[in-house]
Amino acid sequence: MASRLNGVKGLDEAMDSRPCLIVGYANSAFAVRWGRFFRRQGWSVHLTPTAAEARRLANELSPDAVVIDVEMPDETGWLTAAKLTQECPTLKVVLVGARAARREDLRDVGASRWLSRDEEPEVALAAISTRRLVAV
């Protein structure tokens, strides 16, 4: 449909080949900054303010990674990460928040990395690009 709307044959295929990132956020400034960065890097980025929507998108889109804030309004990012990695065992989940997390806590929920919300998105790109399977 997008290829017909844009008049470019094969646009759907080109869009599907882009890496996909879902960002579940509690802080809109963080989401805008990271979303802008990843889009400029050629990623398809889906921003969502709820954990439920992040999970729905992850199951629908099969993204390369999900970045989820630990302070989501509808459930904690910790719980969302655990649900996501149970539903999609090879999904790379990065948790973000204000305080550092212990490796054991990340492992318990299947998250592959912890980053500060204040971290530059380049750090997230490097973390996401270096590991495909969930590992700590």
Which segments within 2-63 are labelled E, that is strand?
20-24, 44-48
Domains by residue range for the chain, with CATH:
19-130 (3.40.50.2300)
The confidence score (pLDDT) of residue 118 equals 82
How far is the C-alpha of 49 from the C-alpha of 69, rounded, in Å?
9
Query: 32-46 as b/e, with b when 16 or more CB fall inside 10 Å?
Result: eebbebbeeeebbbb
The confidence score (pLDDT) of residue 69 equals 92
Q: pLDDT (tens digit, 0 to 9) for every residue of the chain, 136 residues total?
A: 333 333 343 444 445 689 999 999 998 999 999 999 999 999 999 999 999 999 999 999 999 999 999 889 999 888 999 999 999 888 999 888 877 666 667 677 767 776 778 888 888 888 787 544 333 2
How far is the C-alpha of 5 from the C-alpha of 9, rounded, in Å?
10
